[in-house]
Amino acid sequence: MSKSPKTLAVLGMPVHVMTNYPGWLIECLQQGRGTHVVTLNAEMTMQAERNSSLAQVIQNAELVIPDGAGVVLYLRWLLWQKVQRCPGIELAETLLRELGQQQTSTKVFFYGGATGVAAKAAEVCQQQISSLNIVGTHSGYHSPEQEQQLQQTLIQLQPQLIFVGLGVPRQELWIAQNRHLCPQAVWIGVGGSFDIWSGTKHRAPAWLGNNNLEWLYRLYQEPWRWRRMLALPEFALKAFVYHFTARGAIS
């Protein structure tokens, strides 16, 4: 097994730092090592301060990657760590490409999004990577009866890589409650990735992402998110206060 990632902390939440997240997760898939991947950003960190259940899920996750610009800048500027941002959507895409190149029989499942979005995303991914083994998809909006059917489907199919796009904190809590259904799987909360892959929405231009401004493009696309964006200055303020009143490193 590859070297375990280094664990740091951002406002008390763990962040695992390593150079090759995809390679580490491919090994988890090969070894059947059940793994919950959390893509941590500033907004999720602030939600965890107010939601103890979410905080516990993040603490228990086997891999917490630095997804958001705020988290990365905290690690760079306050902890002096050479950390690269790892957007969850890019990690997911890299895993799919790796599986396609290796032409493995790894079973992949997409769950989340509006009706038809996950199915369309799977169709597009399958067209781009023909050797993928996508065994099923399911919408994120359904009745309790359909939820039970989904759980039975997962038990029967036993997919090994499961992408859950329900938004934060719903996807993290759902994974924690249901990962026992496929105990050897790698579960990743992918937020709105299905919308991007399906063509329903568009990702920010690369130059914005490279300058840690992807959030600005998201706000431009979805102005109603402005209240949620208030978490960013709140995170920045608390990050400085926390850093100078508590230790930032876990190990």
Give the single-character DSSP code of 68: S
- Dump pLDDT digits (tens) for 104-115: 899 999 999 999
Structure-block tokens of residue 196: 């991007």
Taking residue 210's Cβ as centre, other Cβ atoms within 10 Å add up to: 11
Residue 95 pLDDT > 80 = yes
Q: In what order do the strands lie in the sheet with 186-189?
A: 63-66, 35-40, 186-189, 161-165, 107-112, 133-138
Q: How confident is the model at residue 92 (pLDDT cuts 50, 70, 90)?
A: very high
Please check whether residue 178 is in contact with residue 139, taking contact to mean a CB–CB distance below 8 angstroms.
Answer: no
Neighbouring-strand partners of residue 39? 65
Indicate the pTM of the whole model.
0.88
Confidence of residue 55 (pLDDT cuts 50, 70, 90): very high
CA dihedral 63, 67, 72, 73 (to 10 degrees): -150
Q: pLDDT digit string (tens) for 5-20?
A: 999 999 999 999 999 9
**Could you read off the pLDDT of 175-231 as tens digits, one per residue?**
999 999 999 999 999 999 999 999 988 665 665 555 555 655 555 456 555 355 566
Residue 250 pLDDT > 60, yes or no? Answer: no
Please report which confidence band the pLDDT of residue 249 belongs to, taking 50, 70 and 90 as the band edges.
very low
Q: For residue 237, what pLDDT is reported? A: 86
Residue ranges of E strands in the chain: 6-10, 13-17, 35-40, 63-66, 107-112, 133-138, 161-165, 186-189
